[in-house]
Structure 1
Amino acid sequence: MGMRYHSRRYGKGPRQVLAIHCTLAHSGAWRGLADAMGAGLTINAYDMPSHGKSPDWDGTGDLHDLVTAWGHDMLSEPMDVIGHSFGAIVALRLAAEAPARVRSLTLIEPVAFAFVAADDPAKVEEYRQRNLEFDAAMQAGDKMQAARSFNRNWGNGVPWDQIPEQTRQYMADRIEFVAGSAPAVQRDSIGLLKPGALDVIKCPVLLIEGDQSDGTIAAANSAIQRRIPQAERVVLEGAGHMAPITHPKKVATEIRRFLDAV
């Protein structure tokens, strides 16, 4: 297991949910969604390495392996699993590795770029072009500029200069996490694209995206849906990549409807 992670719970209901946050956030990002989900649930969330109150990733080993290992530890019984962005890729892997412990799977804005590369290479090239500034900043060692570029592409729309300085520094200090996640997200180092890897997922699956999101996300959900035939897909009007934070009630309404049918 290695480092001990920090976790928190929302609610006291009998139905157990595991929620995995996005890059540069923390488990507290689920508070609004948890409040909007209503009674009957306990939402269990953990801080990924270098996020929130969990210890920093020391750069050794595979980052996705570590985040997933913590997820397996939290997944102590059959749960409804929800993941957002990078957290959605972790959630998808958990469902593939422990299908008996995943009662249902909700993927919000999954950054499944390796899936897009396999199915729609032109969309990946669009994504690469949009991220040239981020790549250049990382190569130059300018973490603050890299965080600014990353936030512009994947944030909630708040201009960088209006974000509190402490939050900007939080993101800059953790921007190496993005590079650490690249093997899994962009090159499928975790093997989810291998033939039959997702066939074991028989539980109900919900794919959520915002209609204001990067087109790569729509392509990612399409690619996942092709591999998981029972997956249902929902597009949220007016929402972008950070929908669980910017539109928690809309997201909660769809997830609650989904869970009530499971």
Structure 2
Amino acid sequence: MTGIHKRHWPGDKGRPALALHCMMGSAGYWGPISRRLDGRVDLTGFDMPSHGRSGSWVAGSEGPDFHTAVTRIAASFIDRPLDLIGHSLGATVALRIAVAAPEAIRSLTLIEPVLFAAASDAEQEHRDRVISGFLAEGRIEDAARAFIDVWGAQAFDDLPLPARRMMAEQIPLVAEADDTLTNDRANILRDGGLEAIDAPVLIIAGQQSPKVIHGIADALAERLADVGRATVPGAGHMLPLTHPDETAGLIAVSLDRA
């Protein structure tokens, strides 16, 4: 893994915030969100390894897994309590940090957290088997198509060829993160962990997202001390990209609660 590309949207220096993007995304999509927040936070983001302008991820038997590596990178940006915002995979990283260091969190906004270990779901288990099967057979593009057609902003075959090629290169990272997301390898759901988060938490879901997302939100909300819930009408999993007005408005509510 080489350099990590950092992004910064200036705002209130007394209100630092960190935003974490989804699998196969980049920190760039927080730009429109930041503009709508109109400087109320000093927002930082970064492109995860093998995403955006960051260097490639190379898995190693002695190094950390992908989720752990991203968590360590995110934690390196935190030197005082801040507002932590995460989407999809980024939301699970944000939650992992909040469980490990609740004192570092001023507010926590979780957009479509994909911590599948929190809520068993037969449809999601089937999706995992399909993607794993394609990867085992070397059918990389089919695996990417199966993933994006559920979790993307538009169908895989409607994307430009460069985007399809990039996602085919990234799809092994989905399998790399599976043990953390599906089996809770990082022990995010440990007894007392979620309950120790005393900062206000907002969980946001898209109305049209797979039902496992709503099950996860239910399971997490049941254990959090100070939690709000919001559903964006007509939105799917990629709501920060497709519904930036609504997403920014809800993040603002979360900031106000802190």
- 1:76 counterpart residue number: 79
- 1:258 counterpart residue number: 254
Which one of 148, 151, 155 corresponds to residue 148 of structure 2? 151
- For residues 121-150 of structure 1, give each alpha carbon's deviation from its aligned partner in whole angstroms, at most 9, with x where no partner exists: xxx212122444323211211211111111
| TM-score normalised per structure 2 | 0.94
The list of structure 1 runs, each at least 4 consecutive aligned residues, that deviate by more than 6 angstroms after superposition, is none
Matches within 5 A, 1:118-129: 124-129=121-126
- 2:183 counterpart residue number: 187
Matched-pair contact (CA < 8 Å) for 2:198–2:225: no
- For residues 192-246 of structure 1, give each alpha carbon's deviation from its aligned partner in whole angstroms, at most 9, with x where no partner exists: 1221122221100000001100000000000101111311110111111000000
Instruction: Give the distance between the partners of 2:198 and 2:70, measured in 1 at CA.
Output: 23
Instruction: Give the distance between the partners of 2:67 and 2:116, measured in 1 at CA.
Output: 15
Which one-letter code corresponds to 1:103 in the other structure?
Answer: R
SS in 1 for 2:212: helix
> Per-residue deviation at 1:190?
0.4
CA separation of 1:3 and 1:98: change in aligned 2, threshold 3 A = farther
- 2:130 counterpart residue number: 133
> Which structure 1 residue ranges, 5 or more long, are not aligned?
118-123
Which one-letter code corresponds to 1:10 in the other structure?
Answer: W
Between 1:7-16 and 1:79-88, the stretch displaced more is 7-16
**Percent of pairs identical after alignment?**
37
Instruction: Give the distance between the partners of 2:24 and 2:144, measured in 1 at CA.
Output: 9
- 1:120 counterpart residue number: none
Q: What is the RMSD of the two structures over their aligned residues, measured on CA atoms?
A: 1.4
Instruction: Give the distance between the partners of 1:195 and 1:71, measured in 2 at CA.
Output: 24
SS in 2 for 1:96: helix
| TM-score normalised per structure 1 | 0.93
Instruction: Give the distance between the partners of 1:198 and 1:159, measured in 2 at CA.
Output: 35
Matches within 5 A, 1:16-165: 16-60=16-60, 61-117=64-120, 124-156=121-153, 158-165=154-161
Matched-pair contact (CA < 8 Å) for 2:132–2:175: no
Matches within 5 A, 1:224-243: 224-243=220-239
Instruction: Give the distance between the partners of 2:156 and 2:254, measured in 1 at CA.
Output: 35
Instruction: Give the distance between the partners of 2:104 and 2:79, measured in 1 at CA.
Output: 8
Instruction: Give the distance between the partners of 1:132 and 1:181, measured in 2 at CA.
Output: 14
Figure out how many residues of one structure are paired with residues of the other and give that number.
Answer: 254
> Per-residue deviation at 1:34?
1.5
Instruction: Give the distance between the partners of 2:251 and 2:145, measured in 1 at CA.
Output: 31
> Per-residue deviation at 1:3?
5.0
